[in-house]
Amino acid sequence: MQFFKNTTFTWIQLGLFKVSIFFVGLALGAVYWDWVLPYVDALLLVAVPAALYVVYVWFFQHR
């Protein structure tokens, strides 16, 4: 398996990746857990599908 391969993403795919990274960062690395804790489920609901989509495109785009 080749991990470092040339892959081209569209701007929409990169936008989804950035959104997923942003929400994962908020969910896992927030300093103020008292404020973020009620929203963790919603943040992960957005972040996980977006990240999974990007991973899917990354692995299966060249087939």
Is pLDDT larger for residue 23 or for residue 31? 23
Q: Does the pLDDT value for residue 29 go beyond 70?
A: no
Dist. CA 4–CA 10, nearest whole Å: 18
Lowest mean pLDDT among 20-29, 30-39, 51-60: 30-39
pLDDT band at 49 (very low <50, low <70, confident <90, very high): very high
Helix (H) and strand (E) counts in the chain:
3, 0
Question: What pLDDT score does 26 carry?
Answer: 75
Question: What pLDDT score does 63 carry?
Answer: 63
Dist. CA 56–CA 22, nearest whole Å: 19
Spatial neighbors of 58 by CB under 8 A, at least 6 apart, are 7
Question: What pLDDT score does 45 carry?
Answer: 92
Dist. CA 39–CA 53, nearest whole Å: 22
